[in-house]
Amino acid sequence: MEDPRLAALQEAIEARGWRWRLGKPIPYGTQVLVEDGRDQATLNYYPKQGRTVVGGRNTPLRRALEELALVTAGFVVEHAEIGLDESGKGDWFGPLVVAAVCVDPAVAPALVRAGVRDSKTVASGRMADLAATIGYLIPAAARAVTVLEPLAYNERYAAAGNVNVLLAELYAATAAPVVAQTGVSAIICDQFAQGAARLEAAFAVAALPRPRQAHHAEGRSLAVAAASVLATARFQEELARLGALAGWEGPLPAGAADRPLLERAARWIIAREGPEGLARYAKLHFQPVRALLGEE
């Protein structure tokens, strides 16, 4: 039986005067090809995740289809909820950033029109502007961002011995002021480290409501999507600040995949500030970072 959300999308596409047809088979989903007489875009719909992914060239059709998909098939905001997300967990350089955002039905349409969605689908160059829009639409009391700088991160990681223990504590600490200011008890975040117990324990210690965890929450919850944008934008800002502080050629490199670039940046910092200086810029528990410091 056809998913009613996909049927609603197809009806909305027809209402715009566009044509659609089924595309190639995709794992766990349905692909729809959409045409407006001039351009074509693809829409992949994943029913179990409640998620849509729009692809194709950057045309007016694609941009309009992205907004239509968000409004029609995703981000149904029936009540106020607080979303949580993080950025920087898997990156060599930069802080660990956690954001909490409370979204209610009244502000949801404006966020959707602004293009708020999972930060992984937002162009890097748009992130700061989108975060500023969220800051304009969401009152300061209904959002919070926690930045754990590398030096503090390394100290707390050494004490905790596990990044997910540390992350659970940061989630609770970031949610606390938003819960207190808004009185909202519905909290949602992405599925946490293959289990709920660690995060629930941190929230219980902080006397906070039990959070709901969901796979791909940033594609299901507008509040989590907004939090993902705020966290990612702040992480990018911190990489730029730390790059300038280190005298590097730009923002410190993100991620953990481009080993030659990451190692070149780390060696640059070590040459300028000594091995101990790297702790002000990098997360020292990554094995390649320890190897650069001669600890492996």
Annotated domain spans of the chain: 4-73, 81-241, 253-292
Q: Which of 231, 201, 225 is nearest to 90 (CA)?
A: 231
Residue 267: DSSP 8-state: H
Q: Which of 282, 271, 275 is nearest to 243 (CA)?
A: 282
Return the pLDDT at 193: 67
- At 1 the pLDDT is 43
| HSE-CB for 136 with a 13 A CA cutoff | 10
CATH architecture observed for domain 81-241: 2-Layer Sandwich (3.30)
Given a contact cutoff of 8 angstroms between Cβ atoms, the answer to whether 62 and 13 are in contact is: no
Residue bearing tokens 């500030």: 273
Q: Which helix (H) or strand (E) holds 12?
A: helix 4-15
Neighbours of 181 (CB within 10 A): 15
Query: Which residues sit opposite 55 in a β-bridge?
Result: 42
- The pLDDT of residue 33 is 95
Q: Which helix (H) or strand (E) holds 188?
A: strand 187-190
Token code pair at residue 53: 């992914």
Q: Is 5 helix (H, G, I), strand (E, B) or coil?
A: helix
CA-based R_g, the chain, Å: 21
Give, as one character, the DSSP assignment of residue 252.
P
**CB distance 142 to 271 below 8 Å:** no
Spatial contact of 226 and 110, defined as CB atoms under 8 Å apart: no
Question: For residues 243 and 253, what is the distance between their CA atoms, to the nearest angstrom?
Answer: 9
| Mean pLDDT per 10-residue segment, the chain (296 residues) | 70 88 91 93 81 86 82 70 96 97 89 81 88 96 98 94 91 98 95 79 95 84 94 98 96 94 95 94 93 78
Q: How far apart are CA 39 and CA 65, in angstroms?
A: 12
